[in-house]
Amino acid sequence: MKLFVGLGNPGAKYAANRHNIGYLAVERIAADHGFGPWKTKFQGQISEGRLGMERVVLLKPETFMNLSGQSVNAAVQFYKFDPSDVTVFHDELDLEPGKMRLKTGGGHAGHNGLRSIHQHLGTEYNRVRLGIGHPGHKDRVAAYVLHDFAKSDQDWIEDLLQGVSDGAPDLAVGDNQRFMNAVSMRTAPARSSDKQTGGKPTVAAPAPAPDTEDTRTPMQKLLDKFR
């Protein structure tokens, strides 16, 4: 059994902020993999389901970002999780928009949500770092992360969230390489090339198709979640 935590701030005011990409990630996993309805518990919202053979609890703390550890710790204590059972999805300033990296342990790099979780769990939990880019100067960071994604961000957000959802069953069972491959298939797919290798072009591997067609734009999908 695993705990997947998406970091963000509660309420419509913050729903489409860059700081809330962790919320968006776990919401996409819940929607794509048939999780149960969201319920109020542990000072947040939880949804339960399965990713492959693994039972998973999704958690969105509603304590506001700088107190996220209170909510996470309440869930950890209730289910008796080890820190190694916990994976936190969060925005990452030090990665380019649309990039993703995995990390276990280490510092919080000034992220208030991680800082709070450190205080309650220590450092040895898992993290999915979702790149949102950096505004260029530390004095602009607060305004940047608490500002909505731009319209021009919609394509990479959609690709990143879908890749995370595609690979979530692999992440749940600890197959990190397959998880990263699933994200890469969406965010940096192989492309056909005019350059010949052994007489044949390099051709992209087919990505999984969605079950149903949705004609909304990715940003409309994102915003519709919070109306």
Q: Among residues 19, 33, 90, 111, which one is catalytic? A: 19
List strands edge to edge, sheet with 100-104.
Answer: 39-41, 44-51, 54-61, 2-6, 86-92, 126-131, 100-104
Helix axes 21-32, 154-172, angle to 10 degrees: 60
Strand pairing report for 54-61 and 44-51: antiparallel
Between CA 225 and CA 24 the distance in angstroms is 9
Give the number of other Cβ atoms within 10 Å of residue 106's Cβ: 11
Give the number of other Cβ atoms within 10 Å of residue 181's Cβ: 15
Between CA 72 and CA 85 the distance in angstroms is 12
32: tokens are 């794509």
134 is catalytic: no
Strand pairing report for 100-104 and 39-41: unpaired
Where in the sequence numbering do the catalytic residues fall? 19
